[in-house]
Amino acid sequence: MTDERQAVIWQSESTHPDLAEKAKEALREVVDPEIGLNLIELGLIRDVTISDEEAHIIMILTTPFCPYGPALLEMARKKVEDSLSLTTTIEVGMEMWDPTMMEEGAGADWGLF
């Protein structure tokens, strides 16, 4: 089985690398209660853009009707806002999640990789 995973590169990693790393660490604190993995491990954060005035997150959910979706979105927004001290907005991306989006090694406990 070949590993088809491809790392997501956020726009902010080239424009504001230090702040992007702070945002990533903050987002690692938000854990999906059903799966037990954080948003970064799951690959749910598809992009983060940062300007001098604000941050914007594009996030997807593991399932379209995830019962924890609204809470996870708000926790992600708040964690980034608090860590960067910038007004932060979040939107739900239309991309469908699949296990290949997970961070390398994150699916091992599930026997996926």
Strand 54-59: give its sheet, edge to edge. Answer: 45-50, 54-59, 87-92
Gap between the Cα atoms of 8 and 40, Å rounded:
10
Domain layout of the chain by residue ranges: 29-99
pTM recorded for the entire structure: 0.89
Cα–Cα distances in angstroms (integers) from residue 44 to residues 47, 53, 54, 85, 95, in the given order? 9, 24, 20, 22, 10
Whether CATH 3.30.300.130 fits 29-99: yes
> Between 26 and 111, whose confidence is greater?
26
Q: Mind listing the pLDDT tens digit for each residue in 33-64? A: 999 999 999 999 999 999 999 999 999 999 98
Token pair 């932060």 in the structure block, residue: 88
- Residue 59: its H or E element: strand 54-59
